Homo-oligomer: A and B are copies of this chain.
Amino acid sequence: MSTRIAPLSGFPEWLPAERVVEQAFLDIIRETFELHGFVSVETRAVEPVSRLLGKGGDADKEIYGVHRLAGDAESGADPDGEAEQSDPDKALGLHFDLTVPFARYVLENAGKLTFPFRRYQIQKVWRGERPQEGRFREFTQCDIDIVDAGSLAAHYEAEMPLVIADVFSKLPIGDYRIQVNNRKIPEGFYLGLGLTDVVGTLRIVDKLDKIGPEGVTELLASAGATDEQIGQCLALAEISSTDTTFADRVRALGVSHPTLDEGLAELTAVMEAAMAQRPGVLVADLRVARGLDYYTGTVYETQLVGHESYGSVCSGGRYDALASDGRTTYPGVGISIGLSRLLARLVSTGAVRASRPTPTCVVVALGVEEDRARATAVAAELRGRGIATEIAPSAAKFGKQIRFADRRGIPFVWFLGAEGASDSVKDIRSGEQVDAESATWTPPAEDLRPVLERVED
């Protein structure tokens, strides 16, 4: 085997201590999704390339294709006839999000699901884009979506970010802000202004954070917009509020269009529900657009306060036409926590850590190898009562046993008693050692499993 091992750029892997943090996040996310009645779905990693293309905006060129290395010689004998790479209906690619595969899953299984269908999905996705801070080629997404057959009630658009707010209230991520917009607002506004290339205009205005008002002005002008139209587009993008006052400010700009009215009404309803349940968490921000092409109404993005330039850590929106079998359409709304992105920032800045890098609570020390059977019995009894326990790898002196635990962050060392004497257990942090029986001893609740700790700056 080659001796040179280098990490692959864009394919992050955690060390055990970081993975413990990720697992704690995953557990809280999953538990909260389930408390809100979402059922778990996992989809295969691959989709036909034809199903991936044209759904992801700029993502098309980021798709990873998948093919058997054995190549065509073998596949001639393959009755499933997969993977002529040149045929996008047969060629396979790794999914770049979880919404497109979920839409396909709904269509494939519509007869076996009950609607409205609430599902969560926590999986890796792949995008062949250029790696940079917080942007990976392989990363974990945590999605919730609700889809219905025919039509989807508007109240779900308010529910999505409130489920996320419930999740985030349990995670040590600091202050955050969920920004919400409705695509019908810029669409109606641009149409009302006489700008008919809605998608083109949206894409330019979406670059506001990156290239500033001057850059946007320049691009809109070369696309043929007048100074007045440009001024109005920028004025719209400047509007935000944590209540429903955004609507009056939009109307004050004097543009009118039925689609604009629809968008304002829908966004107002979302903000009203949010203000009733979690005031201050949602911000109506008319700059938010989302890059993916399939959104048709409400859209969400989420910023960590103080890390705004890092980009969104939780995004989504409503899509009305993603899943359709020609007879029935399944409109949906969803939101996705970019877990790898979120964790990369929290872990790299040292803001969050785990109380220890291992599940092990107790290591049973071995003075002599002959005691291994006794140690195994003690360990089995502790495990049976839910206490994670391992046994020293080899017999060793007292000091070496303590160092073994200390190097791994294991809080307790168990010592087998000499004949007739009681066992004892030592908290290696305090040095306190007490007599103990494996049938009854219990660690303090906060030591039973590793827990998350927020490190304040």
A80-B9 contact, Cβ under 8 Å, with A36-B383, A62-B68, A64-B69:
yes
Q: 8 Å CB contacts to B: which residues of A22-64? A: 23, 34-46, 48-51, 60-64
The yes or no answer to A65 lying at the interface (CB within 8 A) is yes
Which residues of B are found within 8 Å of A13, using beta-carbon distances? 41-44, 105
Q: Which residues of B contact A128 (CB under 8 A)?
A: 68-70
Q: How far is the CA of A44 from the CA of B138 in the complex (A)?
A: 7
Q: Does A207 lie at the interface of the complex (its beta carbon under 8 Å from any beta carbon of B)?
A: no
Q: Could you tell me if B67 and A67 are in contact, using CB atoms closer than 8 angstroms? A: yes
Q: How far is the CA of A51 from the CA of B1 in the complex (A)?
A: 7
**A1→B38 contact, CB < 8 A:** no
Nearest Cβ on chain B to A162's Cβ, whole angstroms: 9
Q: Tell me the complex Cα distance, A377–B63, Å.
A: 43
Docked Cα-Cα span, A184 to B447, in Å, equals: 43
A113 CB–B CB distance under 8 Å: yes
Question: Within the assembled complex, what's the spacing in Å between the Cα atoms of A363 and B166?
Answer: 19
Q: Is A312 an interface residue (CB 8 A)?
A: no
Minimum distance in angstroms from A229 CB to a CB of chain B: 34
A80 / chain B contacts, CB cutoff of 8 Å:
9-10, 131
Given contacts A69-B61, A69-B64, A74-B61, contact A389 B37 (CB under 8 A): yes
Would you call A443 an interface residue if the criterion is a C-beta within 8 Å of the partner chain's C-beta atoms?
no
Q: Is the CB of B67 within 8 A of A35?
A: no
Question: Is A3 interfacial (CB-CB < 8 Å)?
Answer: yes
Q: Find chain B residues with CB under 8 A from A48 CB.
A: 8
Q: Is A408 an interface residue (CB 8 A)?
A: yes
Segment of A114-122, A245-253, A419-427 engaged in the interface with chain B: A114-122
**B residues within 8 A CB of A9?**
80, 82
In the complex, whether A345 has a CB less than 8 A from a CB of chain B is no
Contacts of A50 in B (CB 8 A): 2
Q: Is the CB of B93 within 8 A of A69?
A: yes
How far is it, in angstroms, between the C-alpha of A118 and the C-alpha of B124 when the chains are bound? Answer: 24
CB distance from A328 to the nearest CB of B (A): 10
**A8 nearest CB across to chain B (Å):** 7
How far does the Cβ of A42 sit from chain B's closest Cβ, in whole Å?
7
Segment at the interface with B among A189-197, A211-219, A352-360, A433-441: A352-360
How many Å from the CB of A160 to the closest CB on chain B?
14
CA distance A112 to B13 in the complex (A): 13
Min CB–CB distance A401 → chain B (angstroms): 14
Judged by a CB distance under 8 angstroms, whether A348 is at the interface is: no
Chain B's closest residue to A394 (CB) is B153
Q: Please name all residues of chain B whose beta carbon is closer than 8 Å to the beta carbon of A82 when the two chains form the complex.
A: 8-9
Which of B34, B65, B358 touches A359 (beta carbons < 8 Å)? B34
Interface residues of A in 254-279 (CB under 8 A from B): 276-277
Bound-state Cα–Cα, A413 to B82, Å: 47
- Given A67-B67, A138-B45, A155-B372, also A37-B359 (CB < 8 A): yes
| Complex contacts, A131 vs chain B, CB 8 Å | 80
- A316–B112 Cα gap in the complex (Å)? 37
Contacts of A68 on B, CB cut-off 8 Å? 61-65, 128
Interface: A5 (CB within 8 A): yes
A231 at the interface (CB under 8 A from B): no
Given that A93-B69, A126-B45 are known contacts, is A389 also in contact with B35, CB under 8 Å in the complex? Answer: yes
- A5, A93, A124, A166 — most chain B CB neighbours (10 Å): A5
A373: chain B residues at CB < 8 Å are 276
The distance in angstroms between the C-alpha atoms of A93 and B70, with both chains bound, is 12
Sample 16 A-B pairs with CB under 8 A, ordered by A number.
A1-B51, A6-B108, A11-B44, A11-B46, A13-B43, A15-B112, A20-B39, A23-B40, A36-B383, A39-B358, A45-B45, A64-B69, A65-B68, A66-B66, A66-B94, A69-B93
Apart from A34-B359, A64-B66, what 14 extra A-B contacts exist at CB < 8 Å?
A8-B92, A14-B41, A14-B42, A19-B42, A35-B359, A36-B389, A45-B138, A46-B138, A61-B69, A61-B74, A63-B69, A64-B69, A65-B69, A153-B394
3 pairs of A and B residues whose beta carbons are closest in the complex:
A37-B390, A34-B359, A61-B70
